[in-house]
Amino acid sequence: MATWIDTHCHLDAPEFDDDRQAVIDRAAAAGVSMMVVPAVMPATFQAARDAAHQARGAYALGTHPLFVQQAGADAAQALDVQLARWADDPRLVAVGEIGLDAFVPDSRDGAAWSAQVRCYEAQLALASAHGLPAILHVRRSADPLLKALRALRDQGRPVPGGIAHAFNGSAQQAEAFIGLGFKLGFGGAMTFERALQIRRLAQTLPAEAIVLETDAPDIPPQWLYRTAAERAAGARSRNEPGELPRIAATLAALRGWTIDETRSITTANALAALPRLGALLSAVPPRCA
């Protein structure tokens, strides 16, 4: 399939309100004809769905760990309701973005951490119940994320795989996710020469474990990066899905793959992680060169 897939792109974010269609058009012109838009809390479910439909892409529903407080106590229930309501929408391909963040100080301690864990576990159980893969936010949290995945598996109701996005854990943790049917997402962070651990993982993980993503508007690649001082002075460092092929060139160089190989391998992996993408891709009209 000759298309790039951006497996993680917040196209519904306010950063794209002024020029969303131009962003979609630039992505299509770059050969990125499929993107997955994960919601971050129930209040953004409709926006994520709308953005995905506008781009003829896909979306996921869930509450992001850093939005747990804002989403409120009934976030998981709201997810359950909406997964049922939109079950027939072929563009709904996963539960996400869900997970745990043990990096941000306000979220990693005490009651805030307990709330994160409760919300994650409830949403993971819903992914299993609805038969949908999960798109996971992993930041210094691989072990507790894995623990909950294993618990469901051991109860005979496993989550059907998914993607550990913007992965930055150890090789051992990567293997554990792979063993549970997950792919690992690589994006802009890989383009920094000093990102030794991420580049080593991208270089050495099994080929079938790697998917590509931008996480736009976040995680700008090295060529879009601006320092805090530059941004304060008004410089823009917004990432967008059209950057994916250039990010992929970094992966190609690290792996010794051609660009065509990189595209076909990562596209096949994205389809394996998010099987509902298959029907959407075969409906994509051929692009005029």
Q: Which stretch binds Zn ion (CB under 5 A): 67-75, 89-97, 221-229, 230-238?
A: 89-97
**One symbol per residue from 49 to 88: x for binding Zn ion (CB under 5 A), - otherwise; what is it?**
----------------------------------------
Nearer to Zn ion, 97 or 243 (CB): 97
Helix (H) / strand (E) element for 4: namely strand 4-6
Minimum CB separation of residue 282 from Zn ion in Å reads 27
Helix (H) / strand (E) element for 96: namely strand 92-101
Residue 268 carries which side chain, given as an amino acid letter? A
Minimum CB separation of residue 103 from Zn ion in Å reads 14
Nearer to Zn ion, 11 or 202 (CB): 11
**One symbol per residue from 99 to 138: x for binding Zn ion (CB under 5 A), - otherwise; what is it?**
----------------------------------------
Nearer to Zn ion, 141 or 252 (CB): 141
Strand-pair partners of 135: 163
Backbone angle region of 170, left / alpha / beta, with phi > 0 → left and psi within -120 to 50 → alpha: beta
Q: Please give the radius of gyration of the chain, using alpha carbons only, rounded to the nearest integer.
A: 18
Minimum CB separation of residue 195 from Zn ion in Å reads 18
Residue 195, classed as helix, strand or coil, is: coil
Q: Which stretch binds Zn ion (CB under 5 A): 12-20, 93-101, 240-248, 257-265?
A: 93-101
Q: Which stretch binds Zn ion (CB under 5 A): 53-61, 92-100, 176-184, 195-203?
A: 92-100
Give the residue carrying structure tokens 């979609």.
Answer: 24
Nearer to Zn ion, 121 or 215 (CB): 215
Give CA–CA dist 177/211, Å, rounded.
13
Total binding residues for Zn ion by CB under 5 A? Answer: 1
Q: Which stretch binds Zn ion (CB under 5 A): 29-37, 96-104, 196-204, 244-252?
A: 96-104
Nearer to Zn ion, 164 or 252 (CB): 164
Angle at 45 between CA 43 and CA 50, to 5 degrees: 125
Query: C-alpha distances in angstroms, 138 versus 47, 143, 162, 278, 286?
Result: 23, 9, 13, 26, 35
Alpha carbon of residue 107 to chain centroid: 20
For the four alpha carbons of 193, 269, 212 and 76, in that order, the dihedral sign comes to negative
Residue 165, classed as helix, strand or coil, is: strand
Residue nearest to Zn ion (CB): 97
DSSP 288: P
Nearer to Zn ion, 12 or 97 (CB): 97
Minimum CB separation of residue 115 from Zn ion in Å reads 19
Q: Which stretch binds Zn ion (CB under 5 A): 79-87, 95-103, 155-163, 273-281?
A: 95-103
Q: Which residues bind Zn ion (CB under 5 A)?
A: 97
